[in-house]
Amino acid sequence: MEIVLVQMAAYYPIRAVSKLTGISPDTLRAWERRYQAVQPDRSGRGRRYGEQEVARLRRLNQLVHRGHAIGGIAVLSDDALDELLATPAAPTEVDKRGTALPTDLLAGVLSAITDFDSARANDELTRLAAVLAPKDFVYQAVLPLMREVGTRWHDGRLTVAQEHLVSQMLRNLLGSLMRLYRSSTSSRRMIVATPAGESHEFGALAASMLAAIAGIDVLCLGADLPAEETARAARRSAASVVLYGITVVNDRTLDEVESLARAMPETTTLWLGGAGVASLDLSALERPAVVLRDLSEFEDECRRWSLVR
Ligand code: B12
């Protein structure tokens, strides 16, 4: 029985790093030459970047997108970059006419939900989707909305019915994103679900949206689905990957993951994401599982997948 919890040590040539980070090869060379932002191994043919360097470049790129000058941040340690990233970004002005900032729009969505006005909530979200780049929409609008709804539900300001309304809206939105980005020629099909007994579906939904934006053919089956059903769907749809979202671990969770790993087609890979995965003992699993600690690791894995196709 083989367990693969982390990726094997890997080195990437500059073109692969460019795809993984979204930074052009010219910019990568300039960041190295002018600012010593990373020091890839150059002993072989051309530059070879390790996982740590790729992760550092991703951090630098995120900060540059937030308006930091590369010259100022290239000298910082990885920990200092993480600290900077943890500082909330200033709200982005999304509408040149100055009519809307994400925080205001989110307040609009939330007040519409509180009033059970789903048409208005949908309009507000659609407006936001129209002005933000797709990934920014997920990170700056969908995730903050999910967190805020979660918090309000938790402290009693939103009812279960209102939480259901948001979940339904977000599922519809995912459907639209899939229609927009779905590539009919995509050979990368992914099933997304949460195990029986797991009703937290927001993380799995957010991951589905990011996968759809990455051109993956996503089939999101939602929350609380028995493992045999998920495995059956993987078999019928010839999915290459099943992504399981796990937030809370209860006495059924490990059984569910083990049953899924047993029943899935041999050619399908199991990916596990969500805060609960860290507390699962996966040592008896019948196949390797890729464990994704957060959404950015998930995005990296999707990019790797597109490279090995
Ligand atoms: C909303 C919510 C619910 C909703 C879920 C609605 C829905 N449609 O999903 C409802 C009302 C159903 C619910 C129920 C319960 N909940 Co609840 N819930 C929350 C809450 C408030 C927000 C969770 C959330 O969706 N956040 C938004 C997502 C997007 O963010 P996130 O969870 O932080 O996930 C991030 C990463 O972990 C990652 N990620 C998450 N999932 C995935 C999946 C994949 C595939 C990937 C790649 C990444 C990824 O991406 C996210 C972005 O960074 C949290 C408390 C909190 N503030 O976090 C409690 C919380 C998760 N719930 C909790 C509990 C205990 C429960 C209940 C068991 C009972 C109860 N007393 O509330 C029940 C039953 C759950 C069950 N059987 O599954 C606990 C879990 C404690 C623990 N660690 O075990 C929490 C932490 C509250 C607490 N402090 O006690 N809950």
What confidence tens digit (pLDDT) does each residue in 223-274 have? 999 999 999 999 999 999 999 999 999 999 999 999 999 999 999 999 999 9
Higher pLDDT, residue 102 or 200 = 200
Residue 1 has a pLDDT of 37
Q: Are residues 208 and 270 in the same domain?
A: yes
Give the closest residue (by CA) to ligand 1 atom 68: 248
Percent of the chain at pLDDT exceeding 70: 88
Q: What CATH number is given to the structural domain containing 282?
A: 3.40.50.280
Q: How many domains does the chain have?
A: 3
pLDDT over threshold 60, residue 99: no
Q: Specify whether 254 is located in the same domain as 279.
A: yes
Q: Decide: residue 256, CB within 10 A, 0-12 exposed, 13-18 middle, 19+ buried.
A: buried
| Its pTM surpasses 0.75 | no
Would you state the pLDDT for residue 67? 66
- Same domain (yes/no): 153, 250: no
* Spacing, Cα 200 to ligand 1 middle (Å): 5
What lines the ligand 1 site, CB under 6 Å?
Answer: 143, 146-147, 150-151, 153-154, 163, 167, 197-204, 206-207, 243, 245, 247-248, 273-275, 292, 294-295, 298
Mean pLDDT in residue range 142-171: 86
275, 228: one domain: yes
Q: What is the mean pLDDT of residues 77-98?
A: 62
* DSSP H or E run through 165: helix 160-181
What CATH number is given to the structural domain containing 127? 1.10.1240.10
Q: In which domain, by residue range, is 189 found?
A: 182-308
- Burial code (b: 16+ CB inside 10 Å, e: under 16) for 168-177 equals ebbeebbeeb
- Per-residue pLDDT at 146: 86
Residue 50: CB partners within 8 Å, gap ≥ 6?
A: 9, 10, 11, 12, 40, 41
Residues 210 and 245 in one domain: yes
Give the residue from 146, 177, 208 where a domain finishes: 177
| CA 245 to ligand 1 centroid distance, Å | 10
Mean pLDDT of all residues belonging to the chain: 84
Q: Does residue 115 belong to any structural domain of this protein?
A: yes
pLDDT confidence of residue 308: 63
Atom of ligand 1 lying closest to residue 197 CA: 77
